[in-house]
Amino acid sequence: MAVLEVRDLATYYYLGKKELKAVDGVSFDIESRRTLGLAGESGCGKTTTAYSIMRILAENGKIARGSVTLGGVELTELSDEEMRQIRWKKASIVFQYAMNAFNPVLRIGRQIVEVIREKDKMSEEEAVLTVSTLFDEVGLKPERQTDYPHEFSGGMLQRAIIAQALACDPQLIIADEPVTALDVIVQNKILDLLRKLQDKYNLAVLFITHDLSVVAENCHDVGIMYAGNLVEVGDAASVFKKSLHPYSYKLIGAFPSVVGPKKRLEFIPGSPPNLLNLPTGCKFHPRCPFAQSICKDDIPEFREITSGHFAKCHFAGELDFGGGQ
């Protein structure tokens, strides 16, 4: 059974009287030792999806419908106090800006000890020992837990955040753009570390990023989001090599590569829709080169086209994108 099951999740923000549909019907599973990369452009709802799972939405954000089950527990129905017990212990989140995630006036070790003692009944000494083990695990010297955040480099801070995320032995880690602020070489070291820890602790990982190159190299499965919808999901090779949704195809083709011959890069005319004023039917139809009248009128169903490979397009599997992928 999958560790995380998300079904028809919809999260809306309320701006005065207006309803902003940030996430509108997203379904996916993540099994233990698997990584799902959730990718899309700014405003597509990938971070809101993550925040909905953790239930850390801003005050004006509400889960409108759908279900999120983690290890068999329905998260959307838990009380705030029960949800508090889930965070860190069952699911933790790693944010993009490690430098903002730690309090600058407290020693780093102290802040992780605090998390551990809050969640697990453990003595101060035991907690400090746990932090030492964790530091060792993520490639930091245990004696550096008495350092302040400004004494760490960007890569070291990201390691410390990962140590903190692992502190209470969760089943699921959500990594929201965990390496975007880092240089490529450090970036790969952190990603290697995440993979190693995933295997060791049987973690399910939800990896959120705008960078499809990073997804291609680090995720088992890929989900592509557009304007609040999950438009395609499947294993990485299928989504990249046999894209079903025109948006995924174009977006993947827009990423430049340093290997192989220089090919023509794709682009999509226009820009993503205003979430307060969404187009009818398929949300991608105004920018889609294959749009027919049905696309304007009817919302496509999210359906399985080939085994484990889903897409939300009326013509999924029937389109010829031209040229090999």
Partner 1 sequence: MTTNDTILSVQDLRKWFTLRAGLFSFNRQPSYVKAVDGVSFDVPRSGSIAIAGESGCGKTTLARTILRLVEPTSGSVLYNGENIYEMNRLELSELRLKMQLIFQNPFEVLDPRHTVVDLVGEGLVIHGLQENDEVLHDRVISALEDVRLIPAEDFATRYTHELSGGQLQRIAIARSLILKPELIIADEPVSMLDASIRTEVMNLMTDLQKEKELTYIFITHDLAQARYIGDYLIIMYLGRIAEMGPMEDVIQAPQHPYTKALVSNIPIPDPTVERDRIMLEGETPTPVDLPPGCRFKPRCQEIGVYCKEDEPILHEVASGHWVACYIE
Interaction residues for partner 1, span 177-236 (CB under 8 A): 183-189, 210-214, 216-217, 236
CA distance 312 to 267: 20
> Considering only residues 56, 73, 106, 237, which one is a binding residue for partner 1 as defined by CB under 8 A?
237
What mask, x for binding partner 1 by CB under 8 A, covers residues 151 to 180? --xxx-------------------------
Return the DSSP state at 251.
H
> Are the beta carbons of 244 and 316 closer than 8 angstroms?
yes
- Candidates 22-30, 71-79, 135-143, 259-267; binding stretch for partner 1 (CB under 8 A): 259-267
In angstroms, what is the minimal distance from the CB of 189 to partner 1?
Answer: 7
**b/e for 61-97, b at 16 or more Cβ within 10 A?**
bebbebebbbbeeebeebeeeebeebbbbbbbbbbbe
In angstroms, what is the minimal distance from the CB of 258 to partner 1?
Answer: 5
CA proximity to 309, closest of 253, 229, 239, 246: 239
Return the DSSP state at 316.
T
DSSP H stretches of helix in the chain: 46-54, 80-86, 98-101, 108-119, 124-137, 154-166, 184-201, 212-218, 236-241, 246-253, 293-297
Indicate whether 267 belongs to the interface with partner 1 (CB under 8 A).
Answer: yes
> Considering only residues 1, 81, 259, 324, which one is a binding residue for partner 1 as defined by CB under 8 A?
259
Instruction: Choose between 133 and 153: whose C-beta lies nearer to partner 1.
Output: 153
Interaction residues for partner 1, span 96-155 (CB under 8 A): 153-155
The set of residues, in sequence order, having a beta carbon less than 8 Å from that of 1 and lying 6+ positions away, is: 72
Indicate whether 262 belongs to the interface with partner 1 (CB under 8 A).
Answer: yes
In angstroms, what is the minimal distance from the CB of 38 to partner 1?
Answer: 15
Instruction: Choose between 25 and 246: whose C-beta lies nearer to partner 1.
Output: 246
In angstroms, what is the minimal distance from the CB of 106 to partner 1?
Answer: 23
Q: How long a stretch of residues is the chain?
A: 325
Instruction: Choose between 90 and 312: whose C-beta lies nearer to partner 1.
Output: 312
CA distance 26 to 11: 10
Mapped onto helix, strand or coil, the DSSP state of residue 312 is: strand
In angstroms, what is the minimal distance from the CB of 241 to partner 1?
Answer: 7
Indicate whether 41 belongs to the interface with partner 1 (CB under 8 A).
Answer: yes
What residues line the site for partner 1 (CB under 8 A)?
A: 41-42, 153-155, 183-189, 210-214, 216-217, 236-237, 240-241, 250-252, 254-259, 262, 265-269, 271-272
